[in-house]
Amino acid sequence: MNSEQLITGILQKQQRAIARAISVVENRPSSALPLLQSIFPHTGKALTIGITGSPGAGKSSLVDRLAIHYRQTLDNYVGIIAVDPSSPFSGGAILGDRIRMQALGLDPKVFIRSMATRGNLGGLARATTDAVAVLDAAGYDKIIVETVGVGQDEVDIVKAADVCVLVLVPGMGDDIQAVKAGIMEIADIFVINKADREGVHRIEKELESLLSITERSDTWVPPIIKTVAIQAIGIQELDSAISSYCEFQQKRDNAKFEKRKHVSEQRIIEILRERLLAKALSKALSENELTLFAKEVASHKRDPYSIVEEICARLNL
């Protein structure tokens, strides 16, 4: 499949072309540039939904049920990107024994992909955004980005979505506060999943009091939706909440544009950071030399800061 065939394939929603393109943005960002430039004019139509929450909150089931809902009620094309930064070593078991493999995996209008960081060059947020762009260009109507937990990368990923959903569960320990602290300001909708368990009332009260002291940049009041994802309870309500937020955004002058501008700024910086490092490594630092420098630092012969200055000087920076 050459580059032109790849682009044609994406625009025709061919899953094989989409999968190939995402592998390229994930593993060979430099060679993905022409591809991403070509598809850029076709992007911007999908609704992207970011879903995050701590391990054990049942995000995967919720995402699966929401995808099924969009398939059944709207006949939407649905893309799912499951970001799993915790598996840089073992590879993700994220597509394990879950309903998505049974109900969703065979649906030709559903595309599921698991992303994980590989190697040392980072760029998970950038790679995820690019993967979303591929699905967006292909004409997928809804793109759900699911992230495990709390890292900065994941906050960045969720922030880039059109609507952010934070999933909580009853009966978590005190540390859940730490999770919430980081993401309260960016969540547009809160979901209390496993709402058939004890402790729903308590976590709802906690959440309401946290929300009352959270400052948002707009007048939206984030709703709290109760779900039991594995029984498909509350999914319609979640869909309605997502729609309401989108209508709210559209009514506000420039609100959506302001958000996209902010996201674009982040994106330029993220791509710039990655490209600069890639160029510096290819132009001013061979792998051998990096090993030699690392030896000098490890044996305390030289500090890493002066080495970095030397590399920057080679690039006339």
In angstroms, the Cα distances linking 42 to 32, 108, 137 are 16, 21, 5
127 or 189, CB closer to a second copy?
A: 127
Whether the CB-CB separation of 159 and 193 falls below 8 Å is answered with: no
Angle CA 53–55–57, to nearest 5: 60
Among 124, 127, 166, 189, binds a second copy (CB under 8 A): 124
- In the range 277-296, which residues lie near a second copy by CB under 8 A? 277, 279-281, 283, 285, 290-291, 293-295
Does the footprint of a second copy cover residue 264 (CB under 8 A)? yes
Q: How many residues belong to the site for a second copy (CB under 8 A)?
A: 91
Q: Least distance (Å) from a second copy to the CB of residue 304?
A: 5
| Two tokens, residue 265 | 């700024």
Question: What is the C-alpha R_g of the chain?
Answer: 21
Which residues, at least 6 apart from 172, have a Cβ–Cβ distance to it below 8 Å? Answer: 54, 203
Q: Least distance (Å) from a second copy to the CB of residue 27?
A: 16
Does the footprint of a second copy cover residue 131 (CB under 8 A)? no
Distance from C-alpha of 90 to C-alpha of 85, rounded to nearest angstrom? 11
Q: Is the dihedral of CA 100, 164, 192, 55 positive or negative?
A: positive
Does the footprint of a second copy cover residue 95 (CB under 8 A)? no
Does the footprint of a second copy cover residue 113 (CB under 8 A)? no
Q: Least distance (Å) from a second copy to the CB of residue 4?
A: 18
Q: Least distance (Å) from a second copy to the CB of residue 261?
A: 4
Does the footprint of a second copy cover residue 271 (CB under 8 A)? yes
Whether the CB-CB separation of 274 and 126 falls below 8 Å is answered with: yes
Whether the CB-CB separation of 87 and 158 falls below 8 Å is answered with: no
Whether the CB-CB separation of 87 and 183 falls below 8 Å is answered with: no
74 or 292, CB closer to a second copy?
A: 292
Does the footprint of a second copy cover residue 314 (CB under 8 A)? no
β-bridge partners, 226: 192
Q: From 9-17, 101-109, 244-252, 269-277, give the range in contact with a second copy by CB under 8 A.
A: 269-277
The number of CA neighbours under 13 Å toward the Cβ of 179 is 20
- In the range 204-263, which residues lie near a second copy by CB under 8 A? 257, 260-263
Q: Least distance (Å) from a second copy to the CB of residue 278?
A: 10
Here's the x/- map for a second copy, 140-179, by CB under 8 A: it reads as --------xxxxxxxx----------------xxxxxxxx
